[in-house]
């Protein structure tokens, strides 16, 4: 069922869930309507087994004969497991998972109808597709919905329809025989003709040796008057973790540019709202929340060959035994994808009076893939490969235990595996604020 999802997006996921509806409850797209599995309490029993075996044998011979289009749906029963191509086999809590997936998909689609970015691409061997998925992740992280479009499975009319309703776009293509594939070239023609020049744009693609496709897309869009939200991402053959990280950060940059444009357009409306009665109450709350203080820290993390870091002050100890702590990480932060369950990172506690250089280095805007540490003096831990800020007061090597979704942040709970004092004396740098609406 998931073969329609070379790059998962909400709409293909929704179509896949529709197909799963007879076998799992909670995935039906029409509210209130339950799949037939709703009534089933148990997965396939012995009585269904002969029917299923017969169906599977029929399916196998049809696949062998190439006539899959005439394949009937399997006999209705509850699924015992869900085996997506992109993740682990799910045996427990299948229906809950499916229900939550449906909710997520519906939210994404509703969001996309309102505000979205198109990721339009083609990929012969999956490399450009992997880049497209990473870019899509970066866009979603920044709170903007993504519309994925594989040019090879769509018409130019599909491209035109999509471009008319999205708020920005990026285009990806492999180089084949010194060119971009024809469907991408056709899509590019539609974009240049139809898309608003205000739209922030981006290009990316995988190549083997000469890589003309990305250059061609870039120059055509530039000549057409578009401006780019990120530098073109070029990747030789299969993208590494570091390249995927560049793609993800580029996606976030694109989303930020689109959001900025929208904010600009909505300024008048926002101003009118802000001067309304509710604003006074809100600023009181914000001022109250702003009295919470935090220790200034540098979070440093590693994923494959990619390194990342961020300045953190929403940090707190969470347990004595085992020693544990929490860090709140904004959903759109580049380092967020380095802090998934099971990942390791270092928390470097900055020293009062000696924190300015590190803060400056961490707050400097950085291009996707740029060395995050800049002039910061760091050592690399032999245990977990993450950076240790040598000017810090102390550092802890941590492992992510849990993540809790909390509005616009993830609260990351981590066990402290090891820790060292780097300076014998000195106090922790504290962050005092005026308002709870910013760090």
Ligand X SMILES: Cc1cc2nc3c(=O)[nH]c(=O)nc-3n(C[C@H](O)[C@H](O)[C@H](O)COP(=O)(O)O)c2cc1C
Q: Which two tokens stand for residue 369?
A: 């893939």
* 207 belongs to the binding site for ligand X (CB under 6 A): yes
Residue 204 in contact with ligand X, rule: CB under 6 A: no
Does residue number 77 form part of the binding site for ligand X (CB under 6 A)?
A: no
User: Which H or E run contains 421?
Assistant: strand 409-421
150 sits near ligand X (criterion: CB under 6 A): no
Q: Residue 389: what are its φ and ψ, rounded to 5°?
A: -80, 110
Please select the residue that binds ligand X; options are 9, 211, 251, 294, rule is CB under 6 A.
211
362 burial class (0-12, 13-18, 19+ CB within 10 angstroms)? Answer: buried
Based on CB atoms, which residue is closest to ligand X, 28 or 129?
129
Q: Residues 172, 132: contact at Cβ < 8 Å? A: yes
At its nearest, how many Å lie between ligand X and the CB of residue 180?
10
Among 25, 28, 127, 346, binds ligand X (CB under 6 A): 127
Q: State the nearest-atom distance from the C-beta of 68 to ligand X, in Å.
A: 24
Does 237 sit near ligand X (CB under 6 A)?
Answer: yes
Q: Are strands 169-172 and 203-207 parallel, antiparallel or unpaired?
A: parallel
- What lies within 8 Å, CB to CB, of 173 at 6+ separation is 121, 122, 128, 180, 181, 184, 205, 213, 214, 217
Binding range to ligand X, per CB under 6 A, among 82-90, 200-208, 251-259, 363-371: 200-208
Q: What are phi and psi for residue 87, nearest 5 degrees?
A: -165, -175
N residues, the chain: 439
To which residue do tokens 């973790």 refer?
Answer: 241
Of the ranges 24-32, 173-181, 318-326, 366-374, which one interacts with ligand X (CB under 6 A)? Answer: 173-181
Contact residue for ligand X among 189, 208, 293, 430 (CB under 6 A): 208
**Position 177 contacts ligand X (CB under 6 A):** yes
CB of 177 to ligand X, least distance (A): 5
Name the minimum Å distance from CB 232 to ligand X.
14
* Least Å from the CB of residue 3 to ligand X: 17
Question: Minimum Å distance from CB 235 to ligand X?
Answer: 7
If one asks whether residue 175 binds ligand X (CB under 6 A), the answer comes out as: yes
Query: CB-based burial of residue 154 (10 Å sphere; 0-12 exposed, 13-18 middle, 19+ buried)?
Result: middle
User: Torsions phi, psi of 377, nearest 5?
Assistant: -80, 120
In angstroms, rounded to a whole number, what is the distance separating the alpha carbons of residues 196 and 192? 9
348 binds ligand X (CB under 6 A): no
Closest distance of CB 247 from ligand X, Å: 12
Applying CB under 6 A, which of residues 63, 93, 125, 371 lies at the interface with ligand X?
125
With contacts defined by CB under 6 A, name the span among 18-26, 174-182, 222-230, 421-429 that binds ligand X.
174-182
Q: Least CB distance from residue 278 to ligand X, whole Å?
A: 50
Total residues at interface with ligand X (CB under 6 A): 19
Cα gap 250→61, rounded to integer Å: 45
By CB under 6 A, is residue 210 in contact with ligand X? yes
Among 172, 144, 12, 141, residue whose Cα is nearest residue 84 = 12
Q: Is 90 exposed, middle or buried (0-12, 13-18, 19+ CB in 10 A)?
A: middle
Q: Does the footprint of ligand X cover residue 206 (CB under 6 A)?
A: yes
| Cα–Cα distance measured from residue 322 to residue 398, given in angstroms and rounded to the nearest whole number | 12
What are the residues binding ligand X (CB under 6 A)? Answer: 123-129, 174-178, 206-211, 237
């Amino acid at each position: 069922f998931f073969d329609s999802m070379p790059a998962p997006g909400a709409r293909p996921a929704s179509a896949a869930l529709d197909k799963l509806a007879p076998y799992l409850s909670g995935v039906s797209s029409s509210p209130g309507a339950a799949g037939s599995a709703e009534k089933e309490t148990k997965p396939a029993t012995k009585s269904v087994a002969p029917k299923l075996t017969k169906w599977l044998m029929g399916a196998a011979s049809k696949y062998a004969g190439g006539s899959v289009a005439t394949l009937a749906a399997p006999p209705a029963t509850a699924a015992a497991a869900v085996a997506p191509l992109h993740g682990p086999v799910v045996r427990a809590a299948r229906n809950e998972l499916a229900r939550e997936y449906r909710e997520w998909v519906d939210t994404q689609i509703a969001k996309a109808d309102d505000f979205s970015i198109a990721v339009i691409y083609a990929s012969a061997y999956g490399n450009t597709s992997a880049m497209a998925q990473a870019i899509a992740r970066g866009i979603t992280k920044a709170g903007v919905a993504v519309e994925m479009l594989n040019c090879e499975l769509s018409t130019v009319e599909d491209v035109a329809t999509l471009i008319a309703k999205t708020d920005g776009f990026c285009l990806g293509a492999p180089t084949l025989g010194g060119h971009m594939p024809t469907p991408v070239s056709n899509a590019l023609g539609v974009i240049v003709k139809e898309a608003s020049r205000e739209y922030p744009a981006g290009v990316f693609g995988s190549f083997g040796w000469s890589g003309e496709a990305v250059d061609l897309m870039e120059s055509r869009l530039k000549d057409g008057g578009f401006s780019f939200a990120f530098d073109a991402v070029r990747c030789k053959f299969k993208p590494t973790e570091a390249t995927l990280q560049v793609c993800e950060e580029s996606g976030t940059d694109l989303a930020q540019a689109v959001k900025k444009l929208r904010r600009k357009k909505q300024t008048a409306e926002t101003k009118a709202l802000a001067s309304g009665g509710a604003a006074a109450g809100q600023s009181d709350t914000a001022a109250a929340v702003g009295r919470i203080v935090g220790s200034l820290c540098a979070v440093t993390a590693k994923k494959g060959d990619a390194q990342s870091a961020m300045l953190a002050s929403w940090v707190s100890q969470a347990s004595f035994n085992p020693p544990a702590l929490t860090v709140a990480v904004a959903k759109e932060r580049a380092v967020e994808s380095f802090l998934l369950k099971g990942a390791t990172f270092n928390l470097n506690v900055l020293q009062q009076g000696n924190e300015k250089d590190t803060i400056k280095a961490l707050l400097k805007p950085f291009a996707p893939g740029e060395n995050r540490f800049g002039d910061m003096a760091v050592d690399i831990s032999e245990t977990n490969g993450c950076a240790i800020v040598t000017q810090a007061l102390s550092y802890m090597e941590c492992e992510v235990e849990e993540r809790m979704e909390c509005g616009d942040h993830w609260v990351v709970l981590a066990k402290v595996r090891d820790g060292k004092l780097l300076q014998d004396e000195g106090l922790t740098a504290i962050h005092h604020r005026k308002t709870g609406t910013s760090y």
